[in-house]
Structure formats: structure tokens, C-alpha cells
């Protein structure tokens, strides 16, 4: 099994991941209703430029432009039969930007279908994830990052599909929100403890959380996760604050300076890998990089 992240964490206290891809694609002109993952095939240079922007900003780890590139989501665009090729291209592009001395994690997002609702079967999900991770491995990814998950059944199927169909290191992160009682749960109602138990059951290599929250809430979530799980690496990718609607547009207001100032607390809470999700840019990552270098 490849263990590039675990190896790197033997000599480094903290690794820096990348920032948002969706936000960068929108800055390049991606409109709602368009398939951003297809740009790996038709606008390769722009995807390569986004990947390079994060390497230049100081990321040790970059992801791939494959978040929604499972056949179930691609079917909305009549692209289901292109899934393996798109994932392979996504990994090849990030590999080209990363070279051999940086780590590429293949991004795998949720399918948008819910087993409990009868939308899809467990076998359908397994097949779609297996195809996706196989494409990412062929394209040169070092590991798989299953991210923005909220349902334990879907997340554990994705982890199993990655473990059983590749030799790659596997991370899986959940998105949590604050519940009425003050703690955190996913929109499917799973607590942080439920999630950690499920990840241990499927031998996930790296756990963590992304999206949904700014760095303050992320720090609380990581602290709770670390108290439950003392050993596994934890990755945290906060948004640039909570989304706000200004003039009909979604904006994220936490600046690179704000996120950098709060980075030591996130690390102290127990995060080993930090980066950004929605609204973060290469400037946020560059600012966080400056902080890590002083730790």
C-alpha cells in the first residue's frame, strides 16, 4: 500500500493541503449547471493553472478536479460513460503540477443519492466509487480523499471501494453543522463520534472534516474528533467563513489574514493536515503556509 501522507507526517508536524477548486472554477467562468469536472478534458490548461496556483502558494498536498466525477452525477450531463477517463485526466493534471515531491489526493465527493430514500442501492454506489478511484489511481494519484460526506452508509461504501480497488492511502472527511444542543452533527444526523466509529470500522487511514464551517467551528470539531481518536491523522479544510448572500451572490468573508491568525489554534486542536474549502483561494493557502513555517 502507498502511504505517502503517513510517511510525510513522520518528519513534519503539519502538512498543508490546497484551497477551493469550485471557487477557482467559477473565477475561470464556470456557470451553474455546467460540469466543471469535464474541464479536465476540454479546458485542461485552466485546470493545470489552478493546480499550479496551489503548489506555488505552498501546498504540500493538492487535490484533483474530480469532486463530482462519479458516474451517477455525470449522468446529469449525459457523461456517465466518461467517468473513468475524466478521473484519470484529473489525476494526470494534478500530478503534472505536483511533480514527484508533492502529494496528489484524488477528490471523491458524494453522489447526491441517498440509500435510505431508495434512490440508489449500495451496489450502485460501490460500483460508481470503484470506477472513480480506479481512474484516479491510473492517472497517478497518491491517495484518495473522499470529502463533504454526510451519510455514514455512503461514506463507508466509498472507503471500501477505494481500499478494495486501489493500493492507495484513503482519507474520508465529513461536513458537520452545529445542532440545537450545541454539539455538531451531519445533515443526516450523524455525530462526530458516530462518524469516527464508522471510519475505524472500515480502516480509513485519515479522518477529518471539510466545508460547511469557518475555522472557528472547525477548530471545535477537530478538538472533539481528536479527543475520540488520538492516533489517526486528522485533515481539516474550513470554508473562508460562513457563506453570506450579498447582492444575490454567495460570498465568504474570512480573509487570508483572518484564517492565518486562527491557524495555530486549529493545529493545537489536533489537525495534522490543514487547507481550505469553499471561498478559500491560493492567497489563503499562502497565508496559512507562512504560519506553518513558524511552527
Binding site for Zn ion (CB under 5 A): 211, 277-278
Distances from the Cα of 78 to the Cαs of 74, 75, 84, 111, 205, in angstroms? 6, 5, 14, 15, 34
What whole-number distance in Å separates Cα of residue 271 and Cα of residue 265? 9
Phi and psi, residue 126, nearest 5°: -60, -45
Minimum separation from the CB atom of position 108 to Zn ion (A): 14
Distances from the Cα of 294 to the Cαs of 13, 101, 114, 139, in angstroms? 12, 21, 44, 34
Minimum separation from the CB atom of position 20 to Zn ion (A): 6
Q: Which is nearer to Zn ion, 177 or 268 (CB)?
A: 177
What whole-number distance in Å separates Cα of residue 222 and Cα of residue 234? 8
Q: Which is nearer to Zn ion, 74 or 240 (CB)?
A: 240
- Give the containing element (helix H, strand E) for 61: strand 61-62
Minimum separation from the CB atom of position 278 to Zn ion (A): 3
Q: Which is nearer to Zn ion, 209 or 263 (CB)?
A: 209
Minimum separation from the CB atom of position 177 to Zn ion (A): 13
Minimum separation from the CB atom of position 211 to Zn ion (A): 3
Q: Which is nearer to Zn ion, 140 or 241 (CB)?
A: 241
Q: Which is nearer to Zn ion, 74 or 277 (CB)?
A: 277
Amino acid at each position: 500500500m502507498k502511504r505517502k501522507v503517513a510517511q510525510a507526517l513522520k518528519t513534519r508536524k503539519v502538512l498543508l493541503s490546497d484551497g477551493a477548486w469550485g471557487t477557482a472554477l467559477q473565477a475561470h467562468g464556470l456557470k451553474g449547471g455546467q460540469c466543471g469536472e469535464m474541464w479536465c478534458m476540454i479546458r485542461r490548461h485552466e485546470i493545470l493553472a489552478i493546480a499550479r496556483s496551489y503548489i506555488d502558494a505552498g501546498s504540500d498536498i493538492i487535490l484533483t478536479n474530480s469532486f463530482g466525477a462519479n458516474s451517477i452525477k455525470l449522468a446529469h450531463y449525459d457523461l456517465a460513460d466518461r467517468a473513468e477517463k475524466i478521473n484519470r485526466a484529473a489525476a494526470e493534471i494534478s500530478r503534472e503540477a505536483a511533480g514527484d515531491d508533492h502529494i496528489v489526493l484524488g477528490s471523491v465527493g458524494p453522489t447526491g443519492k441517498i440509500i435510505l430514500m431508495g434512490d440508489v442501492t449500495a451496489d450502485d454506489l460501490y460500483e460508481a466509487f470503484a470506477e472513480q478511484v480506479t481512474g484516479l489511481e491510473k492517472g497517478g494519484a497518491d491517495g484518495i480523499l473522499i470529502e463533504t460526506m454526510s451519510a455514514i452508509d455512503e461514506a463507508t461504501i466509498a472507503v471500501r471501494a477505494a481500499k478494495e480497488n486501489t493500493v492507495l492511502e484513503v482519507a474520508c472527511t465529513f461536513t458537520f453543522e452545529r445542532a440545537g444542543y450545541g454539539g455538531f452533527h451531519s445533515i443526516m444526523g450523524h455525530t462526530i463520534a458516530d462518524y469516527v466509529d464508522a471510519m475505524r470500522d472500515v480502516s480509513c487511514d485519515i479522518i477529518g472534516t471539510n466545508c460547511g464551517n469557518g475555522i472557528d467551528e472547525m477548530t471545535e470539531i477537530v478538538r472533539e474528533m481528536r479527543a475520540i481518536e488520538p492516533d489517526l491523522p486528522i485533515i481539516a479544510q474550513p470554508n473562508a467563513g460562513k457563506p453570506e448572500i450579498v447582492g444575490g451572490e454567495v460570498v465568504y468573508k474570512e480573509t487570508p489574514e483572518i484564517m492565518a491568525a486562527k491557524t495555530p489554534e486549529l493545529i493545537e486542536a489536533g489537525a495534522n493536515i490543514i487547507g481550505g474549502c469553499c471561498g478559500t483561494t491560493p492567497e489563503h493557502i499562502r497565508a496559512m503556509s507562512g504560519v506553518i513555517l513558524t511552527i
